Structure 1
Amino acid sequence: MTSSSTSPRAAAPAYLGTPVLLLMAMATGLCAGSNYFNQPLLHSIALGLGTTDAAAALTVTLSQVAYACGLFLLVPLADKLERRGLAVGLMLLAALGLFLSGYAQHIGMLVAGTMITGLFSVAAQTLVPMAATLSDPQRSGRAVGLVMSGLLTGILVARSVAGLLSAVGSWHTVYRAAGALMVGVAAVLWWALPASRNPVPMGSGRLLRSLGGLALRHPRLRSRSLIGALAFASVSVLFSTMALLLSGPGHRMTDVGIGLVGLVGVAGALTATVAGRLADRGWGQWTTAGSVLLLVLSWAALWLGIASLGWFLLGVLLIDIALPGVHISNQNVIYRLELQARSRINAVYMTSYFAGAAAGSALGALVWRTAGWPGACLLGALLAVLCGLALLHDRRLARHDAAQ
């Protein structure tokens, strides 16, 4: 924690410093990444537990369902309960799920561990609005961008880390290591974060009912949620089909190689802090527009990637710059709509965001079976164009608000 200078009459408010924000970024990355460990390990899991690939693959879907339930049921509680205790408690429960998966002896144990981890790893989504609330209001965009860089990096590197640790030990290794790390990070967060609470806490029933009211009351929450959903849907088309392309006859890459390709996107995720700073300077709309344009252009590069690994890597880099730019500028808008409801607003937005991701993955897999990589590229580009149209609607809403 760092404090601003004090006056003789009263101490100025204390805001989160960069070291604490970096710790929060690590925590969000670990929480988010924990839901992606299983994706490159499905065949090894099936062999190790004596089950089918289809049964192992079911854990991916169940993880997404559990995460969506956590977004709706648990994230809004940050507007009722003490925030630090909620975030740390959720992380410890997520660690329990990781250990259950790490010591699973049959598919039932793995399913239980996966769902527990998915449900409680939404701790990441309580930390992001906390960063905005407890940071200097003039630099909240930077704070959110820094924490979100950790979250996005965690998602991108999770598959690579899982594959590498599996090669060193077994598929269990990444779950056991992540569980131990989760406990350690949670303990340090408890020490580093201040206790904080919504000054106007709400009852649980009223809290959940208010989510629909927030969406109805704030048109830009709806528009920005749609923008986020379409952007993540476009990116998820890539995530659901890239392994099929890279392992095919055009590139013939191994699982480890495919996992390492994802590391190219880490450089893009780190640009989230730049998007946050631009939003702080009043360039949020232009940041979103530029990011959506990059999203469209990335699919042109990915189209050429069917025969060229260089073009494919460029497309991955562009798409992983575009998504954080859209996401951070979205959050900068929605967090200003109603300061005392940031956690509930985040729950509405993130539920839409991950619903878009699930829809994009499902559509990508369907299009791959019928039209291959060219069809996936056309779908991804179409979703990116629709994202741009949603942004035009949001700009009209912004002008209307400014005129009032």
Structure 2
Amino acid sequence: MSEVLTPTPTASRVAALPRLDAALVWLMALTCGLVVANIYYNQPLLAAIGRTFRVSDSHASLIATATQVGYTLGMLLVVPLGDKLERKRLMLWMLLGAAGCLAAAALAPTFGLLAAASVLIGICSAVPQLLLPMAAHLAPEADRGRIVGRVMSGLLIGILLSRTVSGYVGAHLGWRMVFEGAAGLMIALAALLAWRLPTDQPAFQGTYASLMQSLFTLTRELAPLRRSALVGASIFAAFSVFWTTLAFYLESPAYHYGSDVAGFFGLVGAVGALAAPLAGKTADTRGPRYAITLGIIMALGAYMVLGLSGGYLVGLVAGVILLDVGVQAAHISNQTLVFSLRPEARSRLNTVYMTGYFTGGSIGSVVGGLAWMHYGWPGVCTIGGVFVALALVLHRSYGR
């Protein structure tokens, strides 16, 4: 069994790794933000996409689900290779693949082809889940939470501002232009990483089959990993319930806003990214479990605000800020905990955790779309609150 799990990296390998200076941390954060944006560009555009292909709101929401399913597949099948293959080269190939798939989405003549391209976009956009274990590996132990939080802040800003950019561009230039621009960004980013990102030689010497088998071994042996994956899945399901349905709510008779306003809420939600370094620091000083509890409680409060006063713009804004801060605080602290479990297997630990995380996100997108179609905004807030409550129960009781 010990052969399935990666041996501890040698001292020579550790010594060969570059120092994690501030410029490198910011490059990693920028990369995470630009790449993960590929997954969320479609959310403010769902209503426009539905009109283009003459499908219902719930049908159009499947594009968001398809992209998240692809991202989950990328984490499950590709990210573990970060412990076996040289990460820089793997990431460059994925970026070029993402560029091609984004171009295909921009040109898609049918809804089915757009959905297929969306799955592939998700698979190729799993690059941040290779960068985060690299940052955790290079970071000093005492500062790991803070540095992971800083890199994650780039990812979170990318998630949220992607909606702002795509909402504005989609409203003025059409939704296809969003994907065309993203394809160009991926090519430019690949050139930047080829120049600046350090190489990171792998430690795992086994086959791909044994690499994948070790995912099950790690999951079986590490109860904290199982708990973190389930909590992450629940909290991200709650996050996706809101963001998948927001464009529909804003275009409904309650507000009569377009995709540009839906995208503006990404700017509001970007406040949550400010919580990432703070959450990492809190995890370093108070412990990850304390920070996770705090984040979940904030997310639960967010859905109370959204349910009671989401019909007023000020209530909607307050709920978005609370939800994003809470979800991101819980997520960063969860990752800090996971990366501390087996340092020699961080890519695979991240795979297990993030596969659970985005599986929850995919479920949240589907359930959120159904809740909106059948029960409107009250149904969305109810199911979102249920997912957050489930995260709290799992965090406080599972695996203890």
- TM-score if structure 2 supplies the norm length? 0.89
Q: How does 1:242-321 map to 2 (within 5 A)?
A: 242-321=246-325
Q: Which runs of 5+ in 2 are unaligned?
A: 1-14
Q: What is the rounded CA distance, in whole Å, between the counterparts of 1:161 and 1:15 in structure 2? A: 34
Question: Are 2:61 and 2:365, in contact at CA under 8 Å, matched by a contact in 1?
Answer: no
Question: Are 1:198 and 1:340, in contact at CA under 8 Å, matched by a contact in 2?
Answer: no
Question: Are 1:79 and 1:202, in contact at CA under 8 Å, matched by a contact in 2?
Answer: no
Deviation at 1:343, TM superposition (A): 0.5
Q: Is 1:212 matched with 2:216? A: yes
Deviation at 1:159, TM superposition (A): 2.2
- Larger RCO, structure (CA 8 Å, separation 6 or more): 2
Question: Are 2:163 and 2:262, in contact at CA under 8 Å, matched by a contact in 1?
Answer: no
Q: How does 1:17-96 map to 2 (within 5 A)?
A: 17-45=21-49, 51-53=53-55, 58-96=62-100
Q: Which moved more, 1:289-298 or 1:106-115?
A: 106-115
Question: Are 2:43 and 2:243, in contact at CA under 8 Å, matched by a contact in 1?
Answer: no
In 2 relative to 1, CA 272–45 (structure 1 residues): closer, same or farther, beyond 3 Å?
A: same
Aligned to 1:16: 20
Question: Are 2:17 and 2:138, in contact at CA under 8 Å, matched by a contact in 1?
Answer: no
- CA offsets 1:20-74 (integer angstroms, 9 cap, x no match): 22111121122211122223334544666xx333576543333222222111110
In 2 relative to 1, CA 189–238 (structure 1 residues): closer, same or farther, beyond 3 Å?
A: same
Q: Which amino acid aligns with 2:181?
A: A
Q: What is the rounded CA distance, in whole Å, between the counterparts of 1:226 and 1:93 in structure 2? A: 30
Question: Are 2:75 and 2:354, in contact at CA under 8 Å, matched by a contact in 1?
Answer: yes
Q: Is 1:162 matched with 2:166? A: yes
Q: What is the rounded CA distance, in whole Å, between the counterparts of 2:110 and 2:254 in structure 1? A: 36
Q: Which amino acid aligns with 2:54?
A: T
Q: What is the rounded CA distance, in whole Å, between the counterparts of 2:284 and 2:92 in structure 1? A: 29
- CA offsets 1:319-356 (integer angstroms, 9 cap, x no match): 00011111110011111111111111111111100111
Q: Which runs of 5+ in 1 are unaligned?
A: 1-10, 398-404
Q: Which amino acid aligns with 1:320?
A: D
CA root-mean-square deviation = 2.2
Aligned to 2:156: 152
- CA offsets 1:198-238 (integer angstroms, 9 cap, x no match): 32333100011111111001000001111111111122221
Q: Which amino acid aligns with 2:152?
A: M
Question: Are 2:68 and 2:361, in contact at CA under 8 Å, matched by a contact in 1?
Answer: no
Aligned length: 384
Q: Which amino acid aligns with 1:244?
A: F
Following superposition, which runs of at least 4 residues in structure 1 exceed 6 angstroms of deviation? none
Q: Which amino acid aligns with 1:257?
A: V
In 2 relative to 1, CA 268–61 (structure 1 residues): closer, same or farther, beyond 3 Å?
A: closer
Q: Is 1:223 matched with 2:234? A: no
Aligned to 2:354: 350
Q: Is 1:385 matched with 2:389? A: yes
Deviation at 1:170, TM superposition (A): 3.0
